[in-house]
Structure 1
């Protein structure tokens, strides 16, 4: 199963915009959750976040730590919740254990993740017949990303998977995973492209000196990209638009 896109109300990239961008791209860095799959399609992020809150309180009791007041916006987002806790409990073994717990949940989620619409033929075309090297740069567990790619039989196109480490300060918008991926690919940042679905991806790409293309399958995501400073010409609402631009160049 794949996820269908929702047309955006705001202007996004035209085929001509993509035709100007894509010819110079020699390497592509992909975010996982969004452009490649919906990792939490079944094992949901809000459900994981709710359970994580209980795990946090248990860790606090064991470690005699104070649980901070978590931002309301983080209560449905396990990544945001974990980052908030890491700021309050820096350098503690509890943060390492919480990150490992989240990794285990993401490995479970990888079993039921849904592939993004049009991503499979696009990967086969772009990374296969056109031979553009790929890597994954994600705030998710690299183990979970590798598991999904193997299950989807896409792992051959992604020899490098750069995921979250126990140092949560290196999560995007920090450019760490992009820089690791670029080094692994021996890629010139000026000839690389990052495809992501969040403003944090855009900010990481900007800091790494990499061009960015935003994948926004809802009007709300388009609006968030625009508020973050992403140009309309660098936003697509479907991966099929990239396919069409590549097709038109042959």
Structure 2
């Protein structure tokens, strides 16, 4: 197949993200994550942990530090981007080790018939103390609507348990009271955050924190209750 040139396909922010993926820098802590994403060309949004660049979106968390980047669109565009990400990681040489249980679709072409006949699994690379996972799917039915073709690029610390970190209410209270602006911004959208601490963050003196908390409150109010 023709070699894919990642730099001709992927935005600089995505390539820079792959270059920055390291447990000691990008995924060190909340500050390292926010600074690393900003330096790579991603713009923070109002919602806690969310960044955007060139039509791509990132959802990130500070505890444990990790992120997922998403791209939706035409299946050809999405597959081309996914193959370019895989090529960029292959170009990284011995920095990355590939391990996947399913077909290694990173070497396919966009039009390869196996996209339609094989069951696609995550491709997983490890190195530099992190795990990089890549998945893509075509358009599919989702309830009454249609989910567009999409890819997900996840970057997590290799030492993070598969089930994630246990809730730490003492840490949440400490961060809400004396954490940095970046830590409080991340805390506003942290899963399991109590209504009491969310209210405190809604009244935060820093506008970025209070706006993120207000956005999280709207999401909670709009979510269906069981």
Same fold (TM over 0.5): no
**Greater relative contact order: 1 or 2 (C-alpha under 8 angstroms, separation 6 or more)?**
1
More helix by share: 1
TM-score (norm 2): 0.26
More strand by share: 2
